[in-house]
Amino acid sequence: MYGVVLTCLVLALALYFAYRQGDPMHNVIQGHIDKEYDYIIVGAGSAGSVVAARLSEDSDIKVLLLEAGGHYSERPSFFQSPLMWAMALKTEYDWEYYTEPQEKSSFGLKGQRSYWPRGRVLGGTSCINGVQYTRGSSFDFDEWEAAGCTGWGYKEVLPYFLKSEDIHIESLKSSPYHSQGGPIAVSYGHVTELNDHILKAGQRLGYDVTDYNGKDQHGFSSVPKSLRDGVRSSTGLEYIGKKQMRNLHVSLQSFATKIQIDESDKTAKGVYYIKDGRKYYVKARREIILSGGTINTSQLLLLSGIGPSSHLKEKNIPVIADLPVGQNLQDHVYIPLLSHINQSLSITRDDVKSYWMKLLYALLGKGIYSTSLLDTSAFLHLEKANVGKRYPDIQMIFSATLFSVNVLNYEDHIAHTLLNSDANQHGFTTALCLTRPFSRGQITLKSNDPFDHPNIDPKYLEDERDVKTLIGGIRIWEKLMETPEMKALGVDIDRMKMPFCSNHKFRSDEYWECLIRHIGITEYHHSGTCKMGPIDDTSTVVDPELRVKGIKGLRVADASVFPNVTSGNINAPVIMVGEKAADMIRGKDTVSEFRRNI
């Protein structure tokens, strides 16, 4: 009986996604690609898919998009249901990176190494993230511009956020900070009533309930999500899969290994790549745009002779341009704080395994499979005097479930006490995140073999200010958990009393620091390794037009160009970079209709 039901579910799910996607393979090249294109984009992730689609709007040019992974339609249950993102982890659709052992953090992780999943699929990490749509603080972008990134202030980037957005939230449709008709759908998708309880607890502490993508990021918010009718609104689906562009060729399973650069005039000429076990070369008539992400773009530049000269020489790579590629690595660290509750307001293992829930999603696109479990978020300042004057210090993300499965690389004894052993226990997890870390890491080559993953050293928490900021955030979390709204749900801070930090007094600064250094993990927001800035700034790799300094015909468009990581989840800012990069390359202004007097 169960086999019949399961077969019907799979069939219904396949029909549902086929209906939603149309023909997602129409741009994909099945055989050999052409020998030459006007533009070659390397990496079909959150930015690369955007750049490729926008450049292809000019019908007189030919565009090639190279992607090392496969197509999201191969495993619709992985990529289209936002609830199932973790199913893709540690599969062929995940680069599965690990950091170097950390000296001052990751004490509770296996080998003191953090696991960094990255999407290896059309749509990149936008296919495996938590679908939380967050633009960042206006102060982030104004800071970029003040540091010499001309044209990247908030008023200049807001039109690109608007261009990419299709707001489905009724209360925000008339907001000047939102727009309709763009590729990326933004909607709510509340899981349970737990969201209301957390918002009320925040109000109890004096915080406003706000739209954190609007005028002011500060306060508590329901989480806007990149969802369209229960389907993940990834860039691969929305920008590539739904459009048929005769002048765009998408080559999957195509792993770029080197950019060919003419040393006589320092011009990027073409791309070497591996497909089906064979080595190929394709030429670019105009430009090559690297959108592989913070890790892959840095590695490819280094392999191509662009990077710190001493490091390249050490790896026997001829130096084409001496630039600080791989430096300035930044990432958001978060601390998972678990809270039990005494009411059925969260999602448990039985809910996830429910045949009814699967059928509801397969047939109607409704229920828990149609959304993520991230329902509430807060951006908070540690000092009230800074509200309205600078970016927030802390982000809290509330997930309507208790973490119970060890996908985060924790040591077994840490996972045993930190994570929930009963997957049917009701509760929620607070991800307490550092919005603007002071610590800086680096990416370097392990060898000159492109198939060797690079050395990733984020140097988490090496700057003591990061620890102090996180402790300050925990103090706010403590107050939130002690509000009448949380007490009525049976929340008890003692749930976070961990034996591996028992040599410190529970809830002391020393205890929380111990916990932070043991269980702090990546929020998957890696950025900064091809820093954008003035051309005469020796710490930068690309100029404000995203051109690699000293190299003609080569640009970077992904999170690696961030001078400083934005406050919050970075998928939306990366999409914005892709939109703005396409306009720069085309020499066109396509956002005049989105410019508003804000």
Positions marked active-site: 525
Q: What angle do CA 392, 393, 398 make, to 5 degrees?
A: 90
- What is the C-alpha end-to-end distance of the chain, expressed in Å? 59
223 has binding-site annotation? no
**Gap between the Cα atoms of 153 and 151, Å rounded:** 6
Which residues, 6+ apart, have CB-to-CB distance to 522 below 8 Å?
114, 115, 116, 331, 332, 333, 334, 458
Q: Element (H or E) spanning 78, and its range?
A: helix 76-79
Give backbone dihedrals phi and psi of 464, rounded to 5 degrees, phi first.
Answer: -60, -25
DSSP 3-state percent helix, strand, coil across the chain (nearest 5):
35, 20, 45
Give backbone dihedrals phi and psi of 430, rounded to 5 degrees, phi first.
Answer: -100, 120
Which residues, 6+ apart, have CB-to-CB distance to 251 below 8 Å?
28, 29, 33, 64, 65, 66, 67, 273, 275
Closest listed residue to residue 75, CA positions, set 86, 60, 61 = 86
Which tokens in the block code for residue 528? 């900064």
**Gap between the Cα atoms of 475 and 483, Å rounded:** 13
591 has binding-site annotation? no
**Gap between the Cα atoms of 340 and 489, Å rounded:** 8
Q: DSSP H helical segments within 528-590, as ranges?
A: 571-586
Closest listed residue to residue 88, CA positions, set 129, 44, 128 = 128
**Gap between the Cα atoms of 296 and 530, Å rounded:** 11
**Gap between the Cα atoms of 565 and 529, Å rounded:** 11
Closest listed residue to residue 172, CA positions, set 186, 159, 184 = 186
| Residues flagged as binding site | 121, 125
| Residues flagged as binding site for FAD | 121, 125
